[in-house]
A = this chain, B = another copy of it.
């Protein structure tokens, strides 16, 4: 099949001779990918921060058509158009039933999302069918459906973890696609004030469209001072940390009011948590890998009703064979998030 492979730092290749994935377990399905995208977390191996096995496929976000199902799969059928949660789950184990599908005892991950075919483990638990689709969705819906595979549920999880509530002030640290979806989530949940920390005009624009009421361009202590100024010295009722670096985490705890929670969804890299500050301020931390399957049905309804348009985070679309340029554009922050047309 045509697919994307990674060979080392900044070495992303489009190839047309990758072995097709096959059904290995009765609970598997194979999805023919129509649309994929590049995740901020794909940049960690791209930048050499995570080890890679040279030549392995990459990509964990995709949507498409069910091409084959294992013998135990009953809830989806060949031909269904589906959103593929990046984290696969059986949706029946104790952790899934408790709403933490990312802790599923049968957890799996999409391994060749930036390719023509992707194997999905636990297809019955994982896949969510998009209703009323003949062949493929309306082109205007594609980006919004694509965003449901990871980025939108991840931003939502940040807001849920931070305990965003109606009427309060939410601060979002990070203006990447996840942070912007965090803004959208907080606004949907009724946060009265949504403050985005961003210094990039194009990202600020999406943030405001998603519901940010205030944008702070400062960083570090100056950003903290600006938030304190906005909140009469009280701090934020909820903070979303959507980056995963030490500096972002420090800012998140600095702007959090006593008794609030920092929701974090960026894979932490080089983060040391300030346990004494957390103790003295009574500021909690919650979050992690998003239980996409938990949020997906409700978010799909919001997308289909036109209530949210999370696909606005995609500001560059490329055909799959230009995937390497997509990585470069995201690495250099020329693009917020890149959509890949797989065909």
Write 15 A-B pairs (CB below 8 A) sorted by A numbering: A94-B257, A95-B234, A95-B257, A98-B257, A102-B282, A103-B257, A103-B281, A103-B282, A161-B284, A271-B275, A281-B288, A282-B288, A284-B286, A285-B286, A286-B286
Chain B residues near A103 (CB-CB < 8 A)? 257-259, 281-282
Indicate if the CB atoms of A98 and B259 lie closer than 8 Å. yes
Interface centre among A100, A258, A276, A279 (most CB of B within 10 A): A258
Which stretch from A71-79, A116-124, A216-224, A260-268 is at the chain B interface? A260-268
Number of copies of this chain that the complex holds = 2
B102, B258, B267: the one within 8 Å of A258 (CB): B102
Chain B residues near A282 (CB-CB < 8 A)? 100, 102-103, 286-289, 291
Indicate if the CB atoms of A279 and B284 lie closer than 8 Å. no
Indicate if the CB atoms of B272 and A95 lie closer than 8 Å. no
Task: Tally A residues with Cβ within 8 Å of B.
Answer: 35
Cα A264 to Cα B283 with chains together (Å): 11
Cα A282 to Cα B98 with chains together (Å): 12
Cα A282 to Cα B268 with chains together (Å): 13
- A-side residues, CB < 8 A to B, are 94-95, 98-100, 102-103, 161, 232, 234, 257-259, 261, 264, 267-268, 271-273, 275-276, 278-289, 291
Indicate if the CB atoms of B259 and A100 lie closer than 8 Å. yes
Interface centre among A234, A268, A271, A275 (most CB of B within 10 A): A275
Chain B residues near A259 (CB-CB < 8 A)? 95, 98-100, 103, 291
- The residue on B at minimum CB distance from A244 is B279
- The residue on B at minimum CB distance from A98 is B259
Cα A272 to Cα B275 with chains together (Å): 7
Cα A282 to Cα B263 with chains together (Å): 10
